[in-house]
Amino acid sequence: MDKITVENVNHPGKPSRVDAAKYLAMREAVETVLSKTDTPMTYASIKQGILPILSQQHFPGGATAGWWIKAVQLDLEAKGELARTADKPLRFYLTGKRIPSRAGG
């Protein structure tokens, strides 16, 4: 199983290694949902938008989707590709900055 290194905006300098296929499938889904609107979205809205398009190969029945959405969100925030609003409830949006993901890296 290939691994990919991800960051966490809440724990700078402490990267983790996760399943590359699941990460990349979820990243694509998150980016797809967020790119369809100019309005920042809540975590709940992102999850609702992702579930119908989610890879059933990697997330059968949406299993563990919540954890992976959060992992992708925190990684993209750490890389500056995603940002959150300052108000509550928190809402997220793509910044337009894109850093390619590398399996094994």
Rounded Cα gap, residues 96 and 105, in angstroms? 22
Residue 105 lies in a domain: no
When pLDDT is cut at 50, 70 and 90, the band that residue 97 belongs to is: confident
Query: CA geometry: angle at 100 spanning 10 and 19, to 5°?
Result: 65
Rounded Cα gap, residues 20 and 6, in angstroms? 10
Query: For residues 101 and 77, which has the higher predicted lDDT (pLDDT)?
Result: 77
Rounded Cα gap, residues 68 and 84, in angstroms? 17
Give how many domains the chain has, as a whole number. 1
Report pLDDT for 102: 52
Range of the domain at 44: 3-94
Establish how many alpha carbons lie within 13 A of residue 8's alpha carbon, considering only the half-sphere containing its beta carbon: 11
Residue 99 lies in a domain: no
**pLDDT tens figures, 58-85:** 999 999 999 999 999 999 999 999 999 9
Residue 101 lies in a domain: no
Residue 53 lies in a domain: yes
Per cent of the chain over pLDDT 90 is 84
Query: Which CATH number is 35's domain given?
Result: 1.10.10
Residue 18 lies in a domain: yes
